[in-house]
C-alpha cells in the first residue's frame, strides 16, 4: 500500500461491510448498498467505499441533475471480496459499467483480459491537461498509448496514529497548558499506553484495533511504525509493494526495524495495553470503540474521519511516522502509478459514453474539492488541497501532513515494460505474519520475516522471467535504485 492508495488500501481500504445481497450476473451475489437511483436502464457503478459513501451519493445526485437522461445505480461491495467479485462479474459477462479498479489483478492484466474500455475517444489532450503533469503514465493508467483511467486521489500519509483527547486527559497525559501531550516516538507511545491502561481502572486500554474483517489491519501497525525507523518499504498489503528500492528486495528479515517493532508489539500485548477483544472486533466496531474512549490510540487512515465527523466526534488528534528517534528516518512515498488507477469504464458497457461522463464527473476538480471538504482525503488536483474552509481540525492536520510524503522511485515509470509483471501473492503474507506474531502462533519472528522476504523475491523473480521470455526487456535490476536517498524526493530517471 503506497501513500496514494488511501483506499489502500489502500490502502486503499475501508471496512469490509455487508448490507444485503444484490444480483451479480448469472445468479452470483455480492454484499453492497444501492443508491437511490434504481431504474432498470441505469448506469451501474461499483466501489468499496463505506465511510466515503456520502460523498459518492452526493456526486451521483449532482451528476443526475446535470445529466437528466442518465441515472447511476451504485453498489458498495465488500472490500475483502472486491477483486473476486469484479473477476466473477467479468467472467459472467455482466460487469458494472463503471467500477473502481481492483488491486488484483494488476491494471495491465485487466487491460490484457479486455476488461477495460480505452478512454481516448473522450480523454483528449485538453481533458488530460486539467490534471497535474505526469498524471498519465505508460504502465500506470496508459497502456499501448491508450488511456484507461484517471485519478481521484492525491498523496497524503497513508496511515496515522489516532489519539483520543478525552482518554489522554483522564490519564493526565497533558502539557502545562492543558493540551494533550501527543506521543511521537516509540518510547512515548509505550509510556502513554502504559499510563492509560494503569490509570483507567479497566475502563480504557492504551491501544485497540479491529482485525476480524481480513483486511490486514495488524500490518498497518507494522507499516506505520517501521517507516519512521528508516524502513522505506514499510509493510503494505498491496501485492508487489513493500520493496526497499535501494536494494531491490524485501528487507523484512535484514532490516532490524521490523523485528524490533514486532518485539515491542508483543511486549505491549503481554503488558495488557491492547483492548482484549481487538482480534475479534470488526474495523467498524473498533472505530466505534475508539470514539467511545474504550482505548486511547489506534492506527488507521483518513477514511476514519468522515464517520466520526458524522457522529460529531472530533475530540482526537493524529500523528504520523512515530519513530524510535525524535526525527523520523523515513517517509511515505508518492506513487504516480497508484494515483493513476481510480475508476474505469467496462469494455462490455453498452453505455460507454455515459459511463465516461460519470467517470469524468468523479475525477473533476469540483468533485475533488468536495472530496476534500467531506474529509475523505487528498485530491488529485493540488489546488483543492487547501485547509482554508475546512472546519475539522483533525482533517486540516491530515492535509498538513502532506509534507511527510516524498516522491519515491517507481520501477514501472522507469521501465514501462514491467507492466506485464504480475507476481503471485505468498500465503502467508505480511498481514498473516504480523497476526501470527501477535496471537503467539509464530514464535520464530526473525525466521518468519526472512522466509517471507525470500518468497516474495522469488515470486517476483519468476514473474519477471516469465515476461522476459515474451521478449520484453525486463530484469530484477529494474527494481534497484542504488542512488535513492529515502530522506529526499527522488528525481525520476528514465532507463537508458
| CATH number for the domain that contains residue 253 | 3.40.190.10
Query: Are 322 and 214 part of one and the same domain?
Result: yes
d(CA 49, CA 306): 12
The grid cell for 420 is 506485464
> How many domains, the chain?
2
Query: Are 376 and 253 part of one and the same domain?
Result: no
In a domain, 1, yes or no: no
Domain boundary among 384, 401, 418: 401
Confidence of residue 14 (pLDDT cuts 50, 70, 90): very low
In a domain, 394, yes or no: yes
Domain boundary among 401, 424, 449: 401
| Burial class of residue 370 (count of CB atoms within 10 Å of its CB; 0-12, 13-18, 19+) | middle
* DSSP 8-state secondary structure symbol assigned to residue 33: -
In a domain, 15, yes or no: no
In a domain, 321, yes or no: yes
In a domain, 13, yes or no: no
CA distances 488 to 103, 329, 483, 484, Å, are: 28, 11, 11, 8
Residue 216, pLDDT > 90, answer no
Domain boundary among 370, 401, 432: 401
Nearest to 33 by CA among 48, 19, 50, 13: 19
Q: What pLDDT score does 341 carry?
A: 62
In a domain, 431, yes or no: yes
d(CA 314, CA 356): 37
Query: Are 379 and 319 part of one and the same domain?
Result: no
Asked whether the beta carbons of 186 and 324 are under 8 A apart, the reply is yes
Query: Are 341 and 361 part of one and the same domain?
Result: yes
Asked whether the beta carbons of 259 and 492 are under 8 A apart, the reply is no
In a domain, 438, yes or no: yes
d(CA 66, CA 60): 10
Asked whether the beta carbons of 52 and 14 are under 8 A apart, the reply is yes
In a domain, 5, yes or no: no
Query: What beta strand segments (E) does 48-157 contain?
Result: 72-76, 98-100, 142-143, 146-147
Q: What is the pLDDT averaged over residues 377-400?
A: 87
Q: What pLDDT score does 5 carry?
A: 35
Confidence of residue 172 (pLDDT cuts 50, 70, 90): very high
| Burial class of residue 104 (count of CB atoms within 10 Å of its CB; 0-12, 13-18, 19+) | middle
Query: Are 98 and 237 part of one and the same domain?
Result: no
Beta bridge partners of 47: 76
Residue 256, pLDDT > 60, answer yes
Q: Are strands 316-319 and 142-143 parallel, antiparallel or unpaired?
A: unpaired
Q: Determine how many CB atoms are found less than 10 A away from the CB of residue 285.
A: 18
Nearest to 231 by CA among 159, 326, 321, 336: 321
Residue 306, pLDDT > 90, answer no
- Percentage of the residues of the chain whose pLDDT score is greater than 70: 90
Query: Are 63 and 173 part of one and the same domain?
Result: no
Query: Are 26 and 119 part of one and the same domain?
Result: yes
d(CA 87, CA 341): 17
Beta bridge partners of 74: 45
> Could you read off the pLDDT of 46-87 as tens digits, one per residue?
999 988 899 999 999 999 999 999 999 999 998 888 999 999
Structural domain range at position 379:
21-155+336-401
d(CA 222, CA 434): 8
Q: Are strands 160-164 and 295-300 parallel, antiparallel or unpaired?
A: antiparallel
Q: What is the pLDDT averaged over residues 116-130?
A: 94
Amino acid at each position: 500500500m503506497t501513500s496514494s492508495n488511501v483506499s489502500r488500501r489502500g490502502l486503499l481500504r475501508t471496512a469490509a461491510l455487508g448490507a444485503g445481497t444484490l444480483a451479480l450476473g448469472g445468479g452470483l451475489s455480492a454484499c453492497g448498498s444501492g443508491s437511490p437511483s434504481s431504474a432498470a436502464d441505469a448506469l451501474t457503478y461499483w466501489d468499496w467505499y463505506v465511510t466515503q459513501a456520502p460523498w459518492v451519493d452526493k456526486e451521483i445526485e449532482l451528476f443526475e441533475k446535470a445529466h437528466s437522461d442518465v441515472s447511476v445505480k451504485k453498489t458498495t461491495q465488500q472490500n475483502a471480496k472486491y477483486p473476486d467479485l469484479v473477476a466473477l462479474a467479468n467472467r459472467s459477462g455482466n460487469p458494472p459499467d463503471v467500477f473502481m479498479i481492483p488491486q488484483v489483478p494488476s491494471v495491465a492484466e485487466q487491460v490484457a483480459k479486455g476488461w477495460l474500455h480505452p478512454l481516448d475517444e473522450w480523454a483528449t489532450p485538453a481533458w488530460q491537461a486539467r490534471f497535474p503533469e505526469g498524471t498519465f503514465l505508460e504502465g500506470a493508467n496508459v497502456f499501448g498509448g491508450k488511456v484507461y483511467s484517471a485519478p481521484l486521489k492525491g498523496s497524503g500519509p497513508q496511515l496515522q496514529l489516532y489519539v483520543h483527547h478525552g482518554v489522554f486527559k483522564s490519564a493526565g497525559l497533558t502539557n502545562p497548558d492543558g493540551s494533550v501531550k501527543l506521543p511521537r516516538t516509540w518510547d512515548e507511545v509505550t509510556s502513554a499506553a502504559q499510563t492509560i491502561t494503569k490509570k483507567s481502572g479497566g475502563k480504557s486500554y492504551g491501544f485497540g484495533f479491529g482485525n476480524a474483517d481480513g483486511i490486514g489491519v495488524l500490518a498497518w501497525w507494522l507499516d506505520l511504525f517501521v517507516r519512521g525507523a528508516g524502513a522505506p518499504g514499510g509493510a503494505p498489503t498491496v501485492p508487489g509493494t513493500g520493496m526497499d528500492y535501494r536494494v531491490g528486495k524485501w528487507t523484512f528479515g535484514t532490516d532490524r526495524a521490523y523485528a524490533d517493532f514486532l518485539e515491542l508489539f508483543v511486549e505491549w500485548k503481554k503488558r495488557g495495553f491492547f483492548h482484549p477483544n481487538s482480534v475479534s472486533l470488526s474495523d467498524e466496531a473498533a472505530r466505534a470503540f475508539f470514539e467511545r474512549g474504550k482505548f486511547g490510540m489506534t492506527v488507521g487512515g483518513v477514511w476514519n474521519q468522515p464517520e466520526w465527523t458524522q457522529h460529531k466526534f472530533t475530540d482526537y488528534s493524529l500523528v504520523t511516522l512515530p519513530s524510535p528517534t525524535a526525527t523520523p528516518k523515513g517517509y511515505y512515498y508518492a506513487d504516480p502509478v497508484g494515483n493513476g488507477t481510480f475508476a474505469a469504464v467496462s469494455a462490455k458497457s453498452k453505455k460507454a459514453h455515459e459511463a465516461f461522463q460519470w467517470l469524468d464527473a468523479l475525477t473533476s476538480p469540483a468533485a475533488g474539492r468536495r472530496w476534500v471538504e467531506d474529509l475523505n482525503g487528498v485530491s488529485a488536483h493540488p489546488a483543492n488541497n487547501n485547509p482554508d474552509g475546512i472546519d475539522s481540525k483533525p482533517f486540516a492536520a491530515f492535509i498538513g501532513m502532506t509534507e511527510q510524503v516524498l516522491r519515491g522511485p517507481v520501477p514501472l515509470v522507469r521501465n514501462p515494460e514491467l507492466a506485464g509483471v504480475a507476481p503471485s501473492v505468498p500465503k502467508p503474507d505480511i498481514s498473516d505474519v504480523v497476526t501470527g506474531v501477535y496471537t503467539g502462533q509464530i514464535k520464530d519472528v526473525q525466521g518468519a520475516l526472512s522466509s517471507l522476504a525470500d518468497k516474495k523475491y522469488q515470486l517476483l523473480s519468476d514473474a519477471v522471467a516469465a515476461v522476459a521470455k515474451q521478449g520484453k526487456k525486463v530484469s530484477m535490476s529494474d527494481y534497484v535504485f542504488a542512488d535513492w536517498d529515502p530522506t529526499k524526493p527522488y528525481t525520476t530517471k528514465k532507463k537508458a
